[in-house]
Structure 1
Amino acid sequence: MAGTMIHLLTAEKLLPKLTARQAHYPFDASLKIEEDYFIAGNICPDGIMAREGYQRGMKLHTHFRDGIPDGDFDKPGMVPLFERRLREFWEMHQNDERECPGLYLGYITHMMTDKRFILEERPKFFRNILSVGLTEKDRDTFIRFGRETDLVDFRLIREFPELKRAYESLKRVKPYEIKGMITMDELTGSRNWILGYFFETEHQEEESHFLKYDSMVKFVEDITEEIVERLFQEGYLC
């Protein structure tokens, strides 16, 4: 999955583009996307990790990937299944989006980001780490992946002022839930952890080696454009 700051930076870059296109909801043209809810929505799917007794399968469920582990995502039929679940989730929660405009839309854009990351960026990391003899079968590969994801996130915070706005949104937003999926307490706990770990804790500067920073910056630029087009072409917005 993409790093937390990748999601937040993508969300911050999406907002002005949606505003410029005067985006509105097909089911309620008068409803306006609220910045704080949209930013928060982009971290919601990972909020399940705050659940007591958390197990990996719970995260697959909140990411519409029951029965679709990482290594199988590019196999025939898996992406269409994921996309169908994404659409069903959106249609199911349109009334909930009215209550918290932007929250469920942010959930959707998080998932669009993760889809592209898993299919394109994650394989680059695995190819790069082969240089030190590690493969997808090695536990150390995934330990390093987690660490390098954090290193990229920390550098993004240092170099992109937009993330200060994301921080303020996450501090300011009213409590929320993803109905039937992740509770308010879990999402509050997750959000507070993100604020503390990424923004309020000092981290020593260190470069990532296998998850290339420049590649991830370009990924944010590319996925932002892709998501804008998807939202309009596929009828999430109009």
Structure 2
Amino acid sequence: MSILSVENLDAGYRDLQVLSDIDTGEYVTIVGPNGAGKSTVMKSIFGLTHHMGGSIVYQGTNIEANNPEENVHQGLAYVPQSNNVFPPLSVQENLEMGGYILDRLPEDTLQVVFNRFPILEERQQQEAGSMSGGQRQMLAMGRAVMIDPALILLDEPSAGIAPDLVDEMFDNIDRIVESGTAVLMIEQNAKEALSRCDRGYVFVNGENRYTNTGEQLLDDKQIRKEFLGG
């Protein structure tokens, strides 16, 4: 079942970007050079840019005119690359903010998040601003899953994370997908992302240049040469 389809999105570039249907529970990665339009597409889906043309269909409904709050209420979550936690609040308070749209948090919601991100349970009373970059990224993802979203948008989740935490971060994303949540991710660590995802897109100069399974994109000599460092 298709959960997201983006067609003829006009994001101010020379060409138009297209994302084929993303299915429920699918893991999709967008890679490409800086300035290719990756983050703009992500922000457009979530309602953070001025819509200039094209369609964005989420769970069968056109959402291109939606604002972010409306999209959150429809089960769409977004984790930006930076400034994605509330520094003065504790870990637990940050997570509770993630469920603000719910009338009442189910009793086991926090524990579900702690099971996925054990470090958050250990540090639930710690101020978010005192955590490392990798821990803040896990907190931001944990907050996003508080509403049990159908789709999570992740913008460069490995950016600024210490190398020894990158694998753990990707493992956490794997577990989110395994739980049935679809993930659409932009990622600078292209080789690792493509090795784990179901499907990948390579954006170049504002257009979707290549689409295939992550494995097939990694095996393509031309793509490896041009975008993956050989």
Return the structure number with greater relative CO, CA threshold 8 A, min gap 6.
1
Judging by fraction of residues, say which structure has more helix: 1
TM-score (norm 2): 0.29
**Given the two structures, how large is their TM-score scaled by the length of structure 1?**
0.29
> Which is richer in strand?
2
